[in-house]
């Protein structure tokens, strides 16, 4: 399972936080217990010392004045029950609860101890108070139940828990905000890369902190390498095409010269076949080069400029007019009287149109006959798109082959002449220009190929 950096940071913040809150409460409980016990013990001592002012000696015996005495007069300040016991040196009970136990062996002199009386846990203090006129001090034990201490401790802990949870939530919110701000440079880089087309290899120029700049530098370095590799591929394709065209052209010229000088009919036929083969090889080489150059991965979209399709289509049709007429066909161009601004490479659009016209001219008649009809080129607007279509009145393409004709080297009939790259080049040019390619039967039964280019609006032109 892949986790994001954000989830890792949040997790490593929450885990210590959830451990620190119970630890904080535990330490607080320990410290508060000590402080509360010290405070209550001090008040308990003050209450025990109040007995000193009520002790006196009469007729040789220690006595205690309990007039106007109440338990609350001990003034311990707690909310629990109070018990006391006062004995003289001979162990005679002067006042209080006889059953209240002393510390026994736990404590020899004065001090605090824990005991139980009447089923109640008590915190007790034993003091030896000297009485004027007596030969020995009086033992005073004052004890208090622990409810007050525990109630105060629980109240403190409850408040601390609320404060800790509040601080924890506040710290978590601050951490989430800090994590969001800390990761925002990565988000900006991600957003900038997502908005790019797959062909934009320009450097990333986002302002980022020093910790992220190394990542941006690595991305930019990778883009430079990719761009260089693409340029090397394009150059390699051009070199291969040039190296192939030269010997093919030489073979064709030699075959043509030999045919003119040769008197043997059989040899002339073989030389004519060689010339046709070299023509096919030359055409295939040209198509392979165009196919390589029109791959969408190699097209730099940033270099596409706004062009009017009208003159581009006129020039392409003019180049092929003589060839079409020599084959006994007609070429018609119908275009609306308006500009068709699109963002494109005019050379590639001409390749697209010449391949569509040449495809209709060569293949519209089928494998057994030459096409002798009309090839109609239209340039119109459809729903905000520039629609460039080429239509013939030939035999058309079977429905089952429609989805395969744009694949490279695919031919409906293997016996037909051609490289099988024409419609593949058309498809790549359309894809690299963000255009839609549509193939269907024409109203006359032939093939109608439409390419719909996005028109550039006046607002986009103004920008």
Measured CA to CA, the distance from residue 19 to residue 387 in angstroms comes to: 67
In this prediction, residue 451 carries a pLDDT of: 92
Q: Distances in Å between the alpha carbon of 226 and those of 196, 220, 302?
A: 15, 10, 16
> Per-residue pLDDT tens for 281-333?
776 777 777 777 766 666 666 677 888 889 999 998 998 899 889 888 899 99
In this prediction, residue 463 carries a pLDDT of: 60
In this prediction, residue 2 carries a pLDDT of: 54
SS3 track for the chain: CCCCHHHHHHHHHHHHHHHHHHHHHHHHHHHHHHHHHHHHHHHHHHHHHHHHHHEEEECCEEEECCCCCCHHHHCCCCCCCEEEEEECCCCCEEEECCCCCCCHHHCCCCEEEEEEECCEEEEEEEEEECCCCCCCCEEEEEEEECHHHHHHHHHHHHHHHHHHHHHHHHHHHHHHHHHHHHHHHHHHHHHHHHHCCCCCCCCCCCCCCHHHHHHHHHHHHHHHHHHHHHHHHHHHHHHHHHHHHHHHHHHHHHHHHHHHHCCCHHHHHHHHHHHHHHHHHHHHHHHHHHHHHCCHHHCCHHHCEEEEHHHHHHHHHHHHHHHHHHCCCEEEEEECCCCCEEEECHHHHHHHHHHHHHHHHHHCCCCCCCCCCEEEEEEEEECCEEEEEEEECCCCCCHHHCCCCCCCCCCCCCCCCCCCCHHHHHHHHHHHCCCEEEEEECCCCCEEEEEEEEECCHHHHHC
Measured CA to CA, the distance from residue 291 to residue 297 in angstroms comes to: 12
Which residues have C-beta within 8 Å of that of residue 186, sequence separation ≥ 6?
A: 5, 212, 215
Q: Is 53 exposed, middle or buried (0-12, 13-18, 19+ CB in 10 A)?
A: exposed
Measured CA to CA, the distance from residue 185 to residue 212 in angstroms comes to: 8
Measured CA to CA, the distance from residue 437 to residue 453 in angstroms comes to: 9
198 phi, psi to nearest 5 deg? -70, -10
In this prediction, residue 90 carries a pLDDT of: 85
> Per-residue pLDDT tens for 25-37?
889 889 998 998 8
Measured CA to CA, the distance from residue 64 to residue 70 in angstroms comes to: 14
Cα 263 from chain centroid?
A: 76
**Three-state SS for 355?**
helix
Q: Is 371 exposed, middle or buried (0-12, 13-18, 19+ CB in 10 A)?
A: buried
Measured CA to CA, the distance from residue 173 to residue 167 in angstroms comes to: 10
In this prediction, residue 414 carries a pLDDT of: 65
In this prediction, residue 417 carries a pLDDT of: 64
Domains belonging to the chain, first-starting first, are 5-154 (3.30.450), 202-302 (1.10.287), 304-462 (3.30.565.10)
In this prediction, residue 314 carries a pLDDT of: 92
**Per-chain mean pLDDT for the chain:** 82
Query: Which residue's entry shows tokens 């065209």?
Result: 245
User: Which regions of the chain are under pLDDT 70?
Assistant: 1-3, 68-79, 197-200, 238, 241-242, 279-280, 283, 294-302, 367, 413-419, 460-463
In this prediction, residue 218 carries a pLDDT of: 86
Measured CA to CA, the distance from residue 8 to residue 90 in angstroms comes to: 74
């Amino acid at each position: 399972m892949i986790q994001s950096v954000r989830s890792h940071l949040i997790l490593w913040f929450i885990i210590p936080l959830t451990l620190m809150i119970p630890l904080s409460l535990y330490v607080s409980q320990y410290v508060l217990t000590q402080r509360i016990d010290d405070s209550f013990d001090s008040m308990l001592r003050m209450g025990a010392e109040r007995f000193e002012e009520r002790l006196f000696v009469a007729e040789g015996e220690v006595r205690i004045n309990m007039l106007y005495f109440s338990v609350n007069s001990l003034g311990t300040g707690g909310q629990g029950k109070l018990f006391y016991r006062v004995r003289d040196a001979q162990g005679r009970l002067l006042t209080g609860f006889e059953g209240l136990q002393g510390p026994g062996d736990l404590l020899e002199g004065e001090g605090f101890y824990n005991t139980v009386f009447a089923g109640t846990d008590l915190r007790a203090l034993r003091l030896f108070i000297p009485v004027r006129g007596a030969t020995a001090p009086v033992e005073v034990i004052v004890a208090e139940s622990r409810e007050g201490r525990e109630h105060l401790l629980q109240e403190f802990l409850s408040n601390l828990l609320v404060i800790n949870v509040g601080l924890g939530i506040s710290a978590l919110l601050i951490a989430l905000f800090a994590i969001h701000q800390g990761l925002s440079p990565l988000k900006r880089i991600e957003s900038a890369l997502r908005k790019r087309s797959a062909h934009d290899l320009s450097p990333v120029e986002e302002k980022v902190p020093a910790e992220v700049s190394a990542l941006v530098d690595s991305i930019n370095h990778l883009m430079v390498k990719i761009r260089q590799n693409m340029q090397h591929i394009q150059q390699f394709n051009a070199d291969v095409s040039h190296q192939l065209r030269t010997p093919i052209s030489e073979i064709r010229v030699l075959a043509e010269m030999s045919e003119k000088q040769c008197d043997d009919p059989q040899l002339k036929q073989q030389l004519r076949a060689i010339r046709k083969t070299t023509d096919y090889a030359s055409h295939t080489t040209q198509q392979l080069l165009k196919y390589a150059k029109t791959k969408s991965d190699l097209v730099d979209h940033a270099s596409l400029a706004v062009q009017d399709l009208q003159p581009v289509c006129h020039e392409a049709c003019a180049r092929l007019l003589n060839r079409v007429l020599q084959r006994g066909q007609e070429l018609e161009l119908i275009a609306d009287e308006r500009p068709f601004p699109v963002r494109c490479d005019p050379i590639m659009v001409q390749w697209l149109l010449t391949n569509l016209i040449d495809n209709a001219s060569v293949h519209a008649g089928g494998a057994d006959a030459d096409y002798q009809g009309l090839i109609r080129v239209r340039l119109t607007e459809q729903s905000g798109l520039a629609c460039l279509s080429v239509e013939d009145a030939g035999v058309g393409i079977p429905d089952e082959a429609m989805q395969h004709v744009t694949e490279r080297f695919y031919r409906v009939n293997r016996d037909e002449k051609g490289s099988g790259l024409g419609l593949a080049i058309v498809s790549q040019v359309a894809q690299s220009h963000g255009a839609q390619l549509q193939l269907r039967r024409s109203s006359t039964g032939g093939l109608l190929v439409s390419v719909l280019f996005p028109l550039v609006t006046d607002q986009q032109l103004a920008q």
